[in-house]
Amino acid sequence: MKYLIGFVLVIIFFSCSKEKRSDKAGEEMQDFVIEISDYAKSFNSNFIIIPQNGPELAFSNLDINDGIHAGYNSAVKGFGIEELFYNGSYSLDNERLSMLQKLKANKKILVADYISTNADTSDAIQKNLDEGFICFPRHSGNYDYKQIPAYIINENNNDINTLADAQNYLYLISSEDYSSKDKFIDAIAETNYDLVIIDLFYGDKQFTSNDIKKIKTKQNGAKRLVISYMNIGAAEKYRYYWEDDWRLHKPRWLKKPYEGYEDEIWVKFWKKDWKAIIYGNDNSYTKKILNAGFDGAYLDNVEAYYFLYFD
C-alpha cells in the first residue's frame, strides 16, 4: 500500500508541477503579446493587435474567476476565435464562450466557424449575431482561408476607422488560388468587407504600402481596415527568416513538431532570438507589417504555451 501511495503522490506532484510550468508559459505569452503591442504602437499609436484563440490569456492567472488581466487587455483590441460554435458540425465550446461573454463588452470578437453542411450556415451566423460577435463562416474547401465567400454578413456603406466599427470581416490568408499578386489585390478591392485579414506576403513577395493602400477602400468607396496575419507561436519554414540549416532543435528554440503542419515547428517563444524575429528591429516581422501600412496584426498560435513548458 505504501508503494501505491508513493506512486499516487508522484503523479500528483508531477501534475501540479506541469500545471505550474504551463501557467508560467502562459504568463510569458501574455508578456510577449504586450511587448509586440508596445513596439508596434511606438510607431503607430492606433495599431491593432488581435490574438487568435487562447482567450484565457485575457484573464489574470489564466483564470476567468481572477478577473481581467489589465496589461494584456490594454495591449489588444479584439479576439479572434476559431470553431467556437461549429467545427464541421455543431460543437459549442462552452468554456471559451463564457470567456468571450466576459470580454465582448469592451473588445470586438471575431469568430471563424467551420461548417461542413451548408444548411447549418444560417444557424452559425445567428448564434454569433445573438452574442454580438462578427463571424466568418467557412465551408468545405475553405478550411485554410483561401476563398472569398459569395456573400457578406451585415454589409454596409460605413467608414471603418476602428476595430469597434467593423460589422463583418474577410479572413483570406492563402493566396494560392490567385495567379498573380495583382489579381489577389483586385479580388479583395472588389468587395465591401469592413475588415480584411491577409498574409504579409503573396507567395514570397511582400506586399508593399501601395498594395495595401489599394485595398483600404471598399468597393462602395468607404474606408476599411487591413490586418496582417503573423504566427508568433510557431516558426514557418517558408518565411524570409528561415535559414537553410535550421531543423528541429537547431536552433534549440525550435522545440516541437507541429502535428498536421509539416512546414511549422513550435518555438520556445520566450527566447530572445525568436522575439527578435517577431519585433524590435527593422528586419522584424512586426516592423515589416508596419512598413507595409497595415492597420494591425492578427497573432496566431498564442496558445503555443499549451504544448511547451520550460526546460
Contact 55, 100 (CB under 8 A): yes
Q: What is the enclosing helix (H) or strand (E) of 230?
A: strand 225-231
Q: What is the pLDDT of residue 23?
A: 83
Residues above pLDDT 70, as percent of the chain: 92
In 101-188, beta strands by DSSP E? 108-115, 134-135, 138-139, 169-172
Residue 185 within a domain: yes
**Which residues on adjacent β-strands are paired with residue 170?**
196
Residue 34 within a domain: yes
| pLDDT at 21 > cutoff 80 | no
The pLDDT tens digits for 89-104 are 999 999 999 999 999 9
Nearest Cα to 120, choosing from 165, 166, 87?
A: 87
Q: Which residues contact 236 (CB under 8 A, 6 or more apart)?
A: 242, 263, 264
Alpha helices in the chain (DSSP H): 2-41, 70-75, 94-103, 121-131, 181-189, 209-214, 272-278, 285-291
Contact 114, 144 (CB under 8 A): no
Mean pLDDT (whole number) for 146-171: 97
Q: What is the pLDDT of residue 307?
A: 81
Q: What is the pLDDT of residue 272?
A: 98
pLDDT band for position 19 (cuts 50, 70, 90): low
Q: What is the pLDDT of residue 3?
A: 46
Backbone angles phi, psi at 80, to 5 degrees: -100, 140
| Cα torsion 185, 187, 190, 193: sign | negative
Kindly provide the b/e burial profile for residues 58-70, where b requires at least 16 CB atoms within 10 angstroms of the residue's own CB. Answer: bbbebebeeeebe
Mean pLDDT of the chain: 93
Residue 264, C-alpha cell as written in the block? 511549422
Q: Which residues contact 188 (CB under 8 A, 6 or more apart)?
A: 148, 170, 172, 196, 198, 215
Domain of 117, in residue numbers: 2-306
Q: Which residues contact 212 (CB under 8 A, 6 or more apart)?
A: 226, 292, 293, 294
Q: How far apart are CA 158 and CA 156, in angstroms?
A: 6
Residue 231 within a domain: yes
| pLDDT at 310 > cutoff 90 | no
Contact 110, 145 (CB under 8 A): no
Residue 8 within a domain: yes
**Total structural domains within the chain:** 1
Q: What is the pLDDT of residue 227?
A: 99
3-state DSSP call for residue 77?
A: coil
CA dihedral of residues 234, 306, 170, 121 (deg, nearest 10): 140
Q: How far apart are CA 58 and CA 91, in angstroms?
A: 23
Residue 196 within a domain: yes
Alpha helices in 193-299 (DSSP H): 209-214, 272-278, 285-291
Residue 311 within a domain: no
